[in-house]
Structure formats: structure tokens, C-alpha cells
């Protein structure tokens, strides 16, 4: 603006910015939940295309009150896969592609370091998660693998887990995505998320299906 007296005060501008930040996750998630996914899917085990998963997880994590504090510097995102499993490998590749091509607000690609992790033993997974300092772990479709062990190791280290495989949320993965009535469904294993250090807002929980781990 040409005149200083017309410029809003720093306090006013900051308050407006904060209001916008608080408002955007709810509106964006509602918009994406109204999206009907195409019928061509990346993998049989995942109901949503990986690109859509990336967009939804980006917005979902905006509802975690602790996210910005826990990841204020570099954000390390692990992708758990089986290199010998084409479905798993393709999901990893598409997830990385989506991170570069899909606009995001919470998961800002310029500050993310991605790490591919081979799904072998729980002991090896623990070693790699600690060694790399992983904050988030995206679990691709895995063949003949005990997901509950992935969950336990991640929880112990405070790693937030997420997946596009609905059944994995019941096996102990914290955040998941599925489809209900032809529309995306947000899945939350609330106890797992809390044990990993997340503080999810009630706004998100109203939009989500809350699941518990299988006994």
C-alpha cells in the first residue's frame, strides 16, 4: 500500500494469519472427502490412489497440535517397503512422486528427507528408525509381514505411522485412509496416535472413523 496509515498493524496481520492457519485444515479435508476416487488404483490393497493419500495426509497432520513443534527443523519421513514386491515398490515410488508434484502445506517437501526402509525384522527396523531419526513412517502394502511389530517399534520411538491399507490401522498403524460409499475415509487408531505423541483435534476426529487395534 502507498500509505503507512492504511497498512494493518503487525498484531492484526499476525492474528489474521493465525486464523487462516486454524481454518484451512478443516476446509481442505472436507473438500477432499467430497472427491470420488477413480477406479484405477495403484495397488489392490489400497483403496485410494497414492496422490490422493499424500494430499489427505498433508491435511490430516495439520490437525496434530504437536506436529509443528516436533518437526520444526528437518522432517524425516520413512517409507517401509519390500523391494521384491512390485506393489510395495510402486507405492513407494508414487509416494515420492506425489511429494514432488502435489501441493502441500504441512508436509513441505523442501524440508523433508525421505528414507526407504526395507521390511525385514523388527530389530532391523528399530535400528534404522533410530539411525535415521525418522519422524513419520508411511507403510506400503507388505506381503506376509507382522504389522503389529512395525506398530510397536514405531510407538516405542515416538514415530507417527500412516498407511493407505485399511486393515493395517486395526493392526496398530496410527493413521490410515480407505473408501466408504465411494468417498475417501479417514481412519484413526486413536490410542496408537496418542502413544506416539500426537494430539489430534476434535475437528479431525469428527470427520474420521476411529478404530481400535485388534486384540
Per-residue pLDDT for the chain (215 aa), expressed as one digit of tens each?
444 433 444 444 444 444 443 444 454 455 555 554 444 344 448 989 999 999 999 999 999 998 877 767 789 999 999 999 999 999 999 999 999 998 888 888 788 999 999 999 999 999 999 999 999 999 999 998 999 999 999 999 999 999 999 999 999 999 999 999 989 999 999 999 999 999 999 999 999 999 988 87
pLDDT at residue number 21: 39
Cell 467430497 belongs to 34
The whole-angstrom separation of Cα 190 and Cα 192 is 5
Q: Is CATH 3.30.230.10 the classification given to domain 9-211?
A: no
Cβ contact 63:203 at 8 Å:
yes
Q: Can you give the pLDDT at residue 110?
A: 81
For residue 31, the model assigns a pLDDT of 54
Helix (H) or strand (E) holding 176: strand 175-180
- The whole-angstrom distance between residue 114's C-alpha and the CA centroid of its chain comes to 13
pLDDT of residue 116: 97
CB 172 within 8 A of CB 213: yes
What is the pLDDT, as a whole number, of residue 32? 54
Amino acid at each position: 500500500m502507498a500509505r503507512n496509515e492504511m497498512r494493518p498493524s503487525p498484531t492484526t496481520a499476525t492474528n489474521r494469519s493465525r486464523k487462516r492457519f486454524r481454518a484451512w485444515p478443516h476446509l481442505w479435508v472436507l473438500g477432499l472427502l467430497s472427491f470420488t476416487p477413480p477406479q484405477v488404483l495403484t495397488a489392490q490393497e489400497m483403496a485410494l490412489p497414492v496422490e490422493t493419500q499424500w494430499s489427505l495426509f498433508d491435511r490430516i497432520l495439520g490437525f496434530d497440535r504437536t506436529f509443528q513443534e516436533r518437526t520444526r527443523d528437518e522432517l524425516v519421513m520413512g517409507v517401509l517397503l519390500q523391494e521384491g514386491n512390485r506393489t510395495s515398490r510402486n507405492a513407494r515410488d508414487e509416494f515420492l512422486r506425489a511429494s514432488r508434484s502435489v501441493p502441500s502445506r504441512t508436509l513441505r517437501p523442501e524440508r523433508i528427507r525421505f528414507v526407504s526402509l526395507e521390511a525385514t525384522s523388527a530389530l532391523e527396523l528399530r535400528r534404522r528408525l533410530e539411525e535415521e531419526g525418522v519422524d513419520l513412517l508411511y507403510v506400503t502394502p507388505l506381503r506376509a509381514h507382522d504389522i503389529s511389530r512395525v506398530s510397536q517399534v514405531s510407538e516405542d520411538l515416538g514415530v507417527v505411522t500412516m498407511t493407505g491399507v485399511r486393515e493395517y490401522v486395526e493392526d496398530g498403524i496410527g493413521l490410515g485412509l480407505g473408501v466408504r460409499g465411494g468417498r475417501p475415509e479417514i481412519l484413526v487408531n486413536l490410542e496408537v496416535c496418542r502413544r506416539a505423541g500426537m494430539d489430534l483435534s476434535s475437528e479431525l476426529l469428527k470427520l474420521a472413523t476411529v478404530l481400535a487395534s485388534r486384540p
